[in-house]
Homo-oligomer: A and B are copies of this chain.
């Protein structure tokens, strides 16, 4: 949070902070390079690409001239390149390093580079050359877990499990972490099936919990979402490896029991409210829509709009 300060100072702070979103590399994966940068003499291996945010992005080749370069020579060339970039007014350097070229990471770190992120077979380091603290955008901050509250409206029963490994004797909804690129509802349906053998269908998003510095998320934040699912099968065949018990329980019993977590109890009471007075009172429903520019689709969740508000036809 920014402190509230008087006008001009605040504006200066804001300018410093706001431009963080606009910097080099953030949209590099989509926008592509604007032009090729000519490196200083002796640093041909460090050919960089300028971006429209004032940064330069260097991708070390997997093979090539760098194979014959030792760490000390690399460091000298990188230092010369940084001087050049600085003199040209560049504000940031992005350095992409294949894992087998990782001997160049420590020399870069000696010159002030830090890890931005790493995944699988490459790492990305950054060096901030602009004024003040770095304004470069960060990497992913959240893992997403999803649980499925599978409720059978015909019997008033809800599917619950007891973990084998933790929270013993506490009834909860089956669930787990989203895989990369997996939609919220798909995670819920997959996890429910894997834990309980029950097939189900996404109906709505019921609640969202945000928690930070999560040990189970390697210190990052955790977003935990509970969805309402409709069962398509009813015979339980639960994962003995993960669950101690699995049952169809009366929803009103789950709403009253003390053998559950606070969030499960809360959502059970929410479901009971929806069951008795209409699920439209508790649901965020989902719709898939096209993104404006990227050609990608996204899924949007909110309280369902009455028809006359959806089209705005005939409204004043």
Flag A294-316 by CB within 8 Å of B: 1 or 0 each. 10111111110110011010011
- Is A186 interfacial (CB 8 A cutoff)? yes
- In the complex, the chain B residue whose C-beta lies closest to that of A29 is B215
Flag A155-189 by CB within 8 Å of B: 1 or 0 each. 00000000001010010000011111101101001
The reply to whether A118 and B110 form a contact with Cβ atoms under 8 Å apart is no
The distance in angstroms between the C-alpha atoms of A219 and B170, with both chains bound, is 37
The distance in angstroms between the C-alpha atoms of A262 and B199, with both chains bound, is 33
The reply to whether B122 and A115 form a contact with Cβ atoms under 8 Å apart is yes
By a CB distance below 8 angstroms, the chain B residues around A170 are 292
Top 4 A-B pairs, shortest CB-CB distance: A30-B215, A118-B118, A102-B105, A207-B302
| Residue ranges of A at the interface with B (Cβ–Cβ < 8 Å) | 1-2, 4, 7, 10-11, 14-15, 17-19, 21-22, 26-27, 29-31, 71, 99-103, 105-106, 109-110, 114-115, 117-124, 137-144, 165, 167, 170, 176-181, 183-184, 186, 189-190, 193-195, 197, 199, 205-221, 223, 237, 239, 241-242, 252, 255-256, 261-263, 266-267, 269-270, 272-273, 281-284, 289-292, 294, 296-303, 305-306, 309-310, 312, 315-316
